[in-house]
Amino acid sequence: MSEQAAAVKSGSGLSVKDLTTTGMMIAIILLMSFTPLGYLRTAGLEVSLITIPVAIGAMIIGPKAGLLLGTVFGLTSFYQCFGMSPFGAALLGINPFLTFLVCVPTRALVGWFTGMIFKGLEKMDRSKTVCFFIGGLIAALLNTILFMAALILFFWNTDYIQSINASIGNLSVFAFVLTFVGVNGLLEMPATCIVSGVVSKTLKKVSYKKIRSN
């Protein structure tokens, strides 16, 4: 059976296999969102590991799946603002609509851009291995950059963010961003790079072998 025959297309343009995999990634995102698996909260910091299934889906399926998974991640992140996340709850109390913009579109773009960038990386990577780890790292970087960009754009001049900034020395915007994401980045980026890289490469390899054997 050819690859084209194996990938029966649905109305969305994704194969049934891809839709099944996307559904599994959504289930993992939901599980991580509402258990301690998805967020590491300590000393006021919130490190999200939900970027991992978003990156995996974006790399093994493509940008459309990445966009959908990122949107689900964003919606669960916004839900966290209703009492589950102290930081998110504070933003929600200031402006619910802008909080939605910080949480949802940014994460949707993480999935989309990761899928698009990975397509280019995969074409250039002769080993067909390194691209998966770079893709995972890019997903974590995008999550940090887009979230912080939206946070600064919409909430920098609020009393809440300025009180946080005052407590760490009234830093410039650039220094504040570096301080705020420093610990988060040190934990989130290596985890997303390694886990999503290993899992994505393995799933891609297994999927390819199944297609060849049919």
**Per-residue pLDDT tens over the stretch 22-80:** 999 999 999 999 988 888 776 556 778 999 999 999 999 999 999 999 999 999 999 99
Compute CA distances 166 → 43, 45, 183, whole Å.
Answer: 17, 17, 19
Name the residue among 35, 25, 41 with its Cα closest to residue 139. Answer: 25
Q: Select from 1.10.510.10, 3.40.50.2300, 1.10.3720.10, 1.10.1760.20 the CATH code of 3-213.
A: 1.10.1760.20
**Per-residue pLDDT tens over the stretch 146-202:** 999 999 999 999 999 999 899 888 989 989 888 877 767 777 889 899 999 999 999
pTM score: 0.88
Q: For the chain, which residues make up each domain, given as ranges? A: 3-213
**Per-residue pLDDT tens over the stretch 112-126:** 999 999 999 999 998
